[in-house]
Structure 1
Amino acid sequence: MSNFNEYHLNPETFPFLQNLQENWQVIREEFTNFIKQASPEELKFTYDVLGPKSKTIKTKGNSKYSAFGILFQGLLIEEYIQFHQIQYPEYETDVAAKKALELREKYFPNLAQMITVINLENDDVVRNAYFGTFHPGLDIKLHVNYNPHMNRGYLGLIVPQGDVAMKICHEQLYWHEGEFMVLDHSYPHCPHNYTEYDRTVLVVDFFKTDQPREEVMRFEQEQVTERMQDNPYSLGVFGKSDKANTEDFIKYGLAHQLEWDKAL
């Protein structure tokens, strides 16, 4: 049984996630089919264009994290590229948007349909939906994701046995295939994959449902504008504020100290 708290949230509190969880094998199959069937050119385009990039979140060593998705800040990827007129070194905006649409429709029709239905029925609650893969040996340094208007859900798709986990405050939490882990990422955290296999989840960022919708949408708009000006390839997901500050290290250390105090 999981012990939920202010940063590790009960997925059942968010019923709009249920359809994704019930269809996790369909989502996994779309992901694995893409990895197996996509051409080298399609794979390169996907990771160059459809994946959010961070300038501030760092890893220990050379192991990598890769990501790509179909929805960012409530817009399907091709719409997001057009709306922000993103310019890529190898692709003009219109070309990138067209290729993104073709890939989304070719490889991820079921996931796109699920997300579209959820947002139609829940006032656009889901903001980002993308696949995140931890490659073997990955160890991400302590950081925050400064999105105080959103929670982040991880739907386990491919989770190897062994030490692949999320350290947040004093806890170490583990992903499980077919289940959501929901976190408030404004708390300092550092995930890792110490296994010899990839770990892949569907990351689903969604508005905090206990906050006024107009307020969180206004904050998102201001934040995304700033992030896109600084780094258009972040797709609004990452920003300078994600870097852990002194107070975040103190908060992380205090959480461990409190846990030791309980034990003693």
Structure 2
Amino acid sequence: MTNFNEYHLDPKQFLFLKSFQDNWQVIKDEFANFMNHASSEELKFIYDILGPKSKTIKTKGNAKYSAFGILFQGFFIEEYIQVHQIQYPDYELDDASKKALALREKYFLNLARVIKEVNYINDSVIRNVYFGTFHPGLDIKLHVNYNPHMNRGYLGLIVPEGDVAMKICHERLYWHEGKFMVLDHSYPHCPHNYTNYDRTVLVVDFFKPDQPREEVIQFEREQVAQRMQDNPYSLGVFGKSDKAKVEDFIKYGLAHQLEWDKALKA
């Protein structure tokens, strides 16, 4: 029996997540189809343009985390590029937006359909949707994602057997294919993948339903404006506030992480 608490939440209480879970195999197949058939140019574009970039979250060693998505702060990626007038070194703004739309329609029609249906019925509760892959050996430094207005759902798509887990506070939690893990990711956490295979989930960020909608929208607007000013390639997902404090390491029994955290700065 899973014990839920203030940071590890029961997915069943968020009924709008059921549509994603019911379609998890289709979503997984779309991801696999893209990875197996996309050209090198398409792969480069998607990771360059559709992948949120962080300047603060660090990894141990050379193992990497990769991500790309189609929805950011409630906008499909081609709209988000236009709204924030993102300037890319290798692409003109309109060209980047058109290419993003074309790739979304070519590879992720079913995922986009689910997002549209859920947001239509639930007043745009879904804010970010992207694929996140932990490559073998990944060990991410303890951090927070300072989004007190949102929760983060992780829908397992490709989860290998073995030690691939989320360490949050004093717990170690595991992903399962076809199931959601829902966290309040403003709590300090540090995931890892100590297997020899990729782990991929669909990340679904959504407004906390118990908070007044006008207030969370205003908070998001101000937060995203600051994040985009600091780093437009964050797509509003990451910011300077993602750094955990020393007291977070100690409070949540993860003091050992301080040693290689210090080593990263050496």
TM-score by length of 2: 0.95
- 2-side partners of 1:151 and 1:129: how far apart? 12
Specify every segment of 5 or more residues in structure 2 that has no aligned partner in the other structure, as ranges. Answer: 257-266
Bigger mean CA offset, 150-159 vs 243-252: 243-252
Per the alignment, residue 28 of structure 1 pairs with 28
Per the TM alignment, residue 247 of structure 1 is displaced from its structure 2 partner at its CA by: 3.1
- Mapping 1:122-201, distance limit 5 Å: 122-201=122-201
Structure-1 residue corresponding to 2:105: 105
1:245: Cα distance to partner? 1.4
3-state secondary structure, aligned to 2:253:
helix
Partner in structure 1 of residue 264 of structure 2: none
Change over 3 Å in CA distance of 1:158–1:254 after alignment to 2: closer
Where in structure 2 are the equivalents of 1:206-217 lying within 5 Å? 206-217=206-217
- Stretches (4+) displaced over 6 A: none
Task: Give yes or no for contact 1:130–1:204 (8 Å, CA) kept in 2.
Answer: yes
Once residues 29 and 253 of structure 1 are traced to their aligned partners in structure 2, the CA distance between those partners, rounded to angstroms, is 38
Q: What secondary structure sits across from 1:69 in the alignment?
A: strand
Match of 2:56 in 1: 56
> Does the CA-based 8 Å contact 2:249-2:255 persist in structure 1?
no
Q: Which amino acid aligns with 2:67?
A: A
1:42 aligns with 2:46: no
How far does the alpha carbon of each residue in 1:176-223 deviate from its partner, in whole angstroms, 9 at most, with x for none?
A: 000000000011000000000000000000000110000111000000
1:261 aligned partner: none
Match in the other structure for 2:65: 65
Per-residue CA deviations over 1:203-262 (Å, capped at 9, x if unaligned) read: 000000110000111000000000000000000000000011123223323999xxxxxx
Of stretches 203-212 and 238-247 in structure 1, the one that deviates more from structure 2 is 238-247
Paired residue secondary structure (2:78):
helix
- How far apart are residue 61 of structure 1 and its match? 0.4
Structure 1 Cα separation of the partners of residues 2 and 79 of structure 2 = 38
Whole-angstrom distance in 2 between the partners of 1:44 and 1:253: 39
2:217 partner amino acid: M
Alpha-carbon displacement from aligned partner over 1:53-74 (angstroms, at most 9, x marks no partner): 0000000001000000000000
Equivalent residues in 2 for 1:200-239, closer than 5 Å = 200-239=200-239
Deviations 1:130-176 (A, max 9, x none): 00000000000000000000000000000000000000011000000
Q: SS state of the match for residue 117, structure 2?
A: helix
Matches of 1:210 and 1:224 in 2, distance apart?
21
- Output the CA distance in 2 between the equivalents of 1:169 and 1:16: 27
| Aligned residue in 1 for 2:95 | 95
CA contact (8 A) 1:154 1:204 kept: yes
Gap runs ≥5 in structure 1: 257-264
Is the CA contact (8 Å cut-off) linking 1:169 and 1:255 kept in structure 2?
A: no
Name 2:80's counterpart in structure 1: 80
The number of equivalent residue pairs is: 256
Q: CA deviation at 1:120?
A: 0.5
- Tell me the SS of whatever aligns to 2:228: helix
Change (3 A) 1:181 1:255: farther
SS in 2 for 1:253: coil
**2-structure distance, mates of 1:195, 1:254:** 21
> Is 1:170–1:255's contact at 8 Å kept on the other side of the alignment?
no
Percent of aligned pairs with the same residue?
80
DSSP-derived class of the 2:113 partner: helix
